[in-house]
Amino acid sequence: MPSVRRQLAAVTAVLALSVTGGAVTSPAFADPREIKKEAMAAGYGGAVSTVDPEASAAAIEVLRDGGNAADAAVAAAATLGVTEPYSAGVGGGGYFVFYDAKTGKVGTIDGRETAPATMPTTAFVNPATGVVYTFAELVSSGVSVGVPGTPATWERALERWGTLDLDEALEPAIKVANRGFVVDETFRQQTLDNKVRFSAFPATASLFLPGGDAPAVGSIFHSKDLAKTYRLLAKDGTDAFYGGQLATEIAATVKDPPKDPAWVPPVTVPPTSIPALPGYLTTADLAAYRTLDQEPTHVEYRGYDVYGMAPSSSGGTTVGEALNILEPFDLSPTAKPAALHHYLEASALAFADRAKYLGDPAFADVPTEALTDPVFGKERACAIDPGTAAIKPVPAGDVASYDGACTVSPAAAADEKDTENISTTNLTVADKWGNVVEYTLTIEQTGGSGIVVPGRGFLLNNELTDFSYTSTNPEDPNRIEQGKRPRSSMSPTIILKDEKPFLALGSPGGSTIITTLLQTILNRVDLGMSILDSLAAPRASQRNTANVTAEPDFIKAYGDALAPYGHKLVPAGDAFTSAAEIGAATAIEFGPGNSMTAVAEPLRRGGGAAMVVKPSR
C-alpha cells in the first residue's frame, strides 16, 4: 500500500488547497467558502475538471500526493456523491474510460445498473388498467430502481488501474461530507425542483428539506449519514454494499418504498400522484452484481482516434457513427450554418440507428461493428441533402447490407419517445504520467428515484426508466428483460492524435449527451474553436425528431441562418428542470511538452471547476 494515505491525512489538517484563478494558491480545504470555481486552468503535472470545486479539489489533492488519474477520478466521483447527490452517488451507475499511458490502450468499465432477476417484462404496466404507468409515477418508485453499479465501478477502477485502496480514495469525500459544503444556487434550485416528491419520503425530506424547505444558498450542508456509509465501504470494501446489513436495507427500501402514509401532495396543480410502486431488487441481485470490462468503441475522424463507451451505452456507437457520417463533408468555420446543418442531419441519422439497434448486447444482437464502420457511415451520409433538412424521423440504415454507395434503401423507420432526463455528472482527470480518465456517472433523473435509503444518506437511482418501457415490440433491443442493463446515452470519450491523448471529454444530459459530445468535437476539430469556446458555445440537439431542441443563445445566433434549411428550433428544457440548458461538459486538452488545459462550463449549472496541479506561469 502506498504512503499516500498518511499524506492525505496530513493534507487534510494543514496543507489543503484552495484555488483561485485556476491556480493553487493558499491553504483552505478546511473552509469550503474559499474554494472558487474557474472554467479553465492550464498547466502541468495533472489536471481535473468536474462540475464542482470540492470534487475537483479532491482530485487535485490525490494527484499532488502521488495518486494517479484513476485514484483521483474515484476520489472526485465520491466527492460528487456528497456535493452533487442528485446526479451522482453509490445508489447509481456509470461508465469509466481509462487511457493507460504505459500500454497506449484505452479500456472501459461498464458499471451500469441492471434490472433485478425477477423483474417481469410487464413491470411498468398497471395490472388494474393494463395501461403503462406514467413516467412521473414510475420515477419516484421502487420499480425503476436498478441494481447500483457505482461502488463496484470504483473498486474495479482502483484494482485495474489505480494505486490507492478504496479507503484511501474515499478519504477526501468523507472529509467533505463531515465538514459540509456550501449550498449554491444550483443545489437549492435542484432541491426545489424535487421538493414535492422528496416531501413524500420522510428519509429524503429530513435529509434534503431540513425544516421543510430546500437549504438556503450560502448555508453549510452536512452529509453525516453518507459519511458513515463511505466509512463502512472504506472499512469493509464494497462487500458491505453488495451484502450484509446495508444490502438488506437497500432491498427492503426498494421493495417497500418508505413513503409517509399520511402524505398528501402540497400542491394540486399540476396533479401529483406518487404511488411509490414496490420494486423487485433483492439482496441476491445485489450479491450478483458485476461490472464489465469492455473494449471501447473506436472510429477515426479527420486523423484523430476517437474512443468511446460500447453498449450497453449508446454513446460510443452514436457519436462514432455520426462522426463517420460527417467525415466525407468539408465543414468549415467560414460556412458555419452549413456545418451546423450537417451536424444536425448526421445526428438525426445516427439516432435513427440508435433507436433501432441499441440495447444491452448480453440480450440483443447489437451491430456495434457495423454502426462504427466508416463504410456504413459513408452510406448513411448519402441521406444528407446539403441544402435541405430531411423530414424527421428519418429511417434507420440497414446494417445487414451496405457497401458505402448511395443506392441501398433504408430499413423501416424507428422513432421513439425520449424519457431520459438532463441530470448526471461527468468528470475528466489526467495525471503526470499521461494517464487519462473520462467518467460519467448518474442516478438518472435529477434526484433519482427521490428515495433515500433511511439513515444511509444516499438516493437510489431510477435508471430502469431508461428501458423503452412503453414498447410492446418484442424486437425492441431496449425492452425490459430480467438482469438486463437499460440502454444509456452516456458518452465518456477519449481522443488520441498520433497515439497520444489529444482531448478527453464528456457531459451529462440524457440523450443530449451524445449531441453535446458531437457538437463539441465539431467545434474543436472542424470549426477550429478553442476547447473552452467549444465547450461554452450554445448548443442544439437533433435526436431524430421534428424539431431541434436548442438553447436560447443558439436560437438567437443561428435560428435565422438555419431556417432556410428547414430546421425548426425550439427552446430546450422539460417539465422537471427549470433551466433550458443542454449538457454541462468537462474536458482536458493535451498540448506540447506535457501541458494540459482543463476546462469546465463557465455558466451552465452554475459553472464547473477546472484545476491543474502546477499552473502555467
Contact residues for ligand GLU, defined by CB under 6 A:
420-424, 442, 444, 463, 466, 488-490, 508-510, 513
Dist CA 32 CA 187 (whole Å): 15
- Minimum distance from residue 51 beta carbon to ligand GLU (Å): 12
Dist CA 379 CA 360 (whole Å): 25
Q: What is the radius of gyration, based on Cα positions, of the chain?
A: 23
CB 523 within 8 A of CB 505: no
Closest CA to 574 of 519, 512, 491: 512
CB 34 within 8 A of CB 127: no
| DSSP label at residue 147 | B
- Extract the C-alpha cell encoding 508: 451529462
Q: Which residue number, 342 or 487, has a Cβ lying nearer to ligand GLU?
A: 487
Query: Strands 569-571 and 548-550: what pairing?
Result: parallel
In the three-class reduction of DSSP (H, G, I as helix; E, B as strand; rest coil), residue 514 is classed as helix
- The helix or strand, by DSSP H or E, that contains position 442, with its residue range, turns out to be strand 436-442
* Share in percent of the chain as helix, strand, coil (round to 5): 35, 20, 45
In degrees, to the nearest 5, what angle opens at C-alpha 304 toward C-alphas 535 and 323?
Answer: 70
Q: Which residue number, 44 or 576, has a Cβ lying nearer to ligand GLU?
A: 576
**Quick one: how far is CA 448 from the chain centroid?**
13
Residue pointed to by grid coordinates 434549411 = 565
- Minimum distance from residue 583 beta carbon to ligand GLU (Å): 9
| DSSP label at residue 554 | H
- Minimum distance from residue 446 beta carbon to ligand GLU (Å): 7
- Minimum distance from residue 122 beta carbon to ligand GLU (Å): 22
Of 424, 425, 446, 549, which is the active-site residue? 424
- Minimum distance from residue 549 beta carbon to ligand GLU (Å): 14
Q: Which residue number, 240 or 464, has a Cβ lying nearer to ligand GLU?
A: 464
Q: Which residue number, 123 or 246, has a Cβ lying nearer to ligand GLU?
A: 123
- Extract the C-alpha cell encoding 601: 462550463
Dist CA 480 CA 123 (whole Å): 8
Residue with nearest beta carbon to ligand GLU:
424
CA dihedral 330, 333, 334, 335 (to 10 degrees): 60
- Minimum distance from residue 247 beta carbon to ligand GLU (Å): 23
Q: Which residue number, 389 or 427, has a Cβ lying nearer to ligand GLU?
A: 427
Q: Which residue number, 463 or 476, has a Cβ lying nearer to ligand GLU?
A: 463
Dist CA 46 CA 56 (whole Å): 11
Dist CA 197 CA 265 (whole Å): 8
| DSSP label at residue 141 | S
- Minimum distance from residue 154 beta carbon to ligand GLU (Å): 18
- Extract the C-alpha cell encoding 426: 461527468
- Minimum distance from residue 118 beta carbon to ligand GLU (Å): 23
Q: Which residue number, 136 or 232, has a Cβ lying nearer to ligand GLU?
A: 136
- Minimum distance from residue 319 beta carbon to ligand GLU (Å): 13
Cis before 393 (ω within 30): yes
Q: Which residue number, 111 or 374, has a Cβ lying nearer to ligand GLU?
A: 111
CB 548 within 8 A of CB 541: yes
Q: Which residue number, 410 or 573, has a Cβ lying nearer to ligand GLU?
A: 573
Residue pointed to by grid coordinates 433515500 = 452
Q: Which residue number, 238 or 461, has a Cβ lying nearer to ligand GLU?
A: 461
Query: Strands 586-590 and 500-506: what pairing?
Result: antiparallel
Residues 546-581 as b/e (b if ≥16 CB within 10 A, e otherwise) read eebbbbeebbebbbeebeebebebeebbeebbebbb
Q: Is 424 a catalytic residue?
A: yes
Residue pointed to by grid coordinates 473498486 = 155
Dist CA 344 CA 329 (whole Å): 13
- Minimum distance from residue 444 beta carbon to ligand GLU (Å): 4
Angle, helices 315-326 vs 512-521, to 10°: value is 40
CB 270 within 8 A of CB 131: no
Residue 442 has phi, psi (to 5 degrees) of -155, 160
Task: Report H helices in 368-510.
Answer: 368-371, 374-381
Instruction: For residue 106, give every residue at least 6 positions away whose Cβ sits within 8 Å of its Cβ, in sequence order, or none.
Output: 97, 98, 99, 100, 296, 307, 494, 496
Residue 569 has phi, psi (to 5 degrees) of -95, 130
- Minimum distance from residue 469 beta carbon to ligand GLU (Å): 13
- Minimum distance from residue 463 beta carbon to ligand GLU (Å): 6
Active site amino acids: 424
